[in-house]
Structure 1
């Protein structure tokens, strides 16, 4: 079974809470998509730039499309001798920057992804991982 709306809402609520507590002056947008990269749930914090809407969704989409977290897409394809131009991917929705994290079931199956935008890459990555950890806690009944 994939990620449910209730689970996605809980994930995003935890992310908003974390974002508000850690850096309240940096509003973000956050998206949860299913295993086919279809939007399940979305939140935009007050004051978040309109650009963050698209970027959060695209980061989640990119993680699903590549089957790896976006920070790994960045590391593999945009650094060192493997560096590629963004046009090489042929998909304008690809966002190979930190902040897109896969969500997996207890057996490791990809059930969705979370994407976030509005902070530095490192901070987006941290916030997205809060979402992923929240989902794992839900599976464990915590």
Structure 2
């Protein structure tokens, strides 16, 4: 099968490696075009597993973990990390409990968007770290669109 998503055994929708790599390339390209500091970009599938990840030249070693935490939270909670940050501000006790509950994987900070196919099916999430949260999210959205998929901010 070809295309951004394919139906795997059991009708599970999978995010293809080719698409994940295109998302990363698009996000890093956007960051460079906008003069944003070097990014780490992590693309996760629906189960929170890494499909692809890259750290741009000059990005600090901590950027990968931050990008992954943003993407993991987005896919786990089904909304962008900016939406999670807003929800965390309104309900800090719940979100403080999510850190230990998720073994430290969830980071409710702006910088990740959901990835959908043209039919609206959720495929995963992409997170970035290097710029501001808004810059990271914009780079993620640009990467998703460059891959021919639909970002959900």
Normalized against structure 2, the TM-score is what? Answer: 0.81
Pick one of 105, 109, 113 that aligns with 2:117.
105
Q: CA RMSD in A?
A: 1.7
Take 2:81 and 2:92, find their aligned partners in 1: how far apart are those partners?
Answer: 15
Instruction: Name stretches of at least 5 consecutive residues in structure 2 with no aligned partner.
Output: 1-5, 7-13
- Using the TM superposition, give the Cα deviation of residue 86 of structure 1 relative to its aligned residue in structure 2, in angstroms: 4.3
Take 2:17 and 2:94, find their aligned partners in 1: how far apart are those partners?
Answer: 36
2:72 maps to 1:57: no
More strand as a share of residues: 2
- Using the TM superposition, give the Cα deviation of residue 108 of structure 1 relative to its aligned residue in structure 2, in angstroms: 1.5
Contact 2:40-2:130 within 8 A present in 1 as well: yes
- Count of residue pairs the alignment pairs up: 135
Q: 1:56-92 deviations in whole A, cap 9, x for unaligned?
A: 111111111101111001112223xx33364321221
- Using the TM superposition, give the Cα deviation of residue 107 of structure 1 relative to its aligned residue in structure 2, in angstroms: 2.0
Contact 1:78-1:85 within 8 A present in 2 as well: no
